[in-house]
A and B are shown apart, each in its own frame.
Chain A
Amino acid sequence: DSGVTQTPKHLITATGQRVTLRCSPRSGDLSVYWYQQSLDQGLQFLIQYYNGEERAKGNILERFSAQQFPDLHSELNLSSLELGDSALYFCASSVVAEPTDTQYFGPGTRLTVL
């Protein structure tokens, strides 16, 4: 158990819909990262928040957005869903935001778009 929690564990929805994925970082961690894992692309970095502020952006689509709240939990919002958005979405947290920091990954949310 990494200490990072993600809900829901599974999500099945239809094309065109909007969903919200939730992540609670480890106690004391200020930085939250979101990743997408698909069979063909592997793990891709989407976005990072540090202490409530957006810190870095990766391969995140404009249809996707995220935020980190004052209690440091984070939400990833996916809208106008397409079949290709089906993937595992992982949240990770670290104490600060250095590249050598250990990132602790949650168990993931499996999104299926039908």
Chain B
Amino acid sequence: TQLLEQSPQFLSIQEGENLTVYCNSSSVFSSLQWYRQEPGEGPVLLVTVVTGGEVKKLKRLTFQFGDARKDSSLHITAAQPGDTGLYLCAGGRGGADGLTFGKGTHLIIQP
């Protein structure tokens, strides 16, 4: 059972366009993290959100945690080829546990 569903699975758009990727669950998480992974490398943390309704901005990236702490979104404004990669959301629960990852969104930004 995949606890975190990411959509879309694949997305290919032109440079300069905006996009949103989604991370949904029926479970509540104490935190939600977004990672970016490039081929042959480990995931790199972009942001952690912990409060329901929280919005964080990282340059052209905007992350939002749902009010019920079950879902999250990542919005990229004016996408650039350097944004290309695999975007992973991961949920953390209270107490000792590893992260639960979604399967990721493969994003390609074409020049």
> B80-100, CB under 8 A of A: which get 1 and which 0?
000000001010111111111
Q: Is the CB of B101 within 8 A of A56?
A: no
Chain A residue nearest to B41 (CB atoms) is A107
Chain A at the B interface: SS class: strand
The total of interchain contacts (Cβ-Cβ below 8 angstroms) comes to: 73
Chain A residue nearest to B43 (CB atoms) is A105
Q: Report, as a range, how many residues of chain A touch the other chain.
A: 20 to 34
> B35-61, CB under 8 A of A: which get 1 and which 0?
100001111110010100000000000
Q: Is the CB of A100 within 8 A of B50?
A: yes
* A108 proximal to B (CB < 8 A): yes
Q: Is the CB of B102 within 8 A of A42?
A: yes
* A55 proximal to B (CB < 8 A): yes
Chain A residue nearest to B97 (CB atoms) is A56
Chain B residue nearest to A58 (CB atoms) is B98
Q: How far is the CA of A86 from the CA of B98 in the complex (A)?
A: 21
Segment with Cβ contacts to B, from A14-22, A43-51, A70-78 = A43-51
* A97 proximal to B (CB < 8 A): yes
Q: Is the CB of B44 within 8 A of A45?
A: no
Binding site for A on B (CB under 8 A): 2, 29-31, 33, 35, 40-45, 48, 50, 88, 90, 92-104
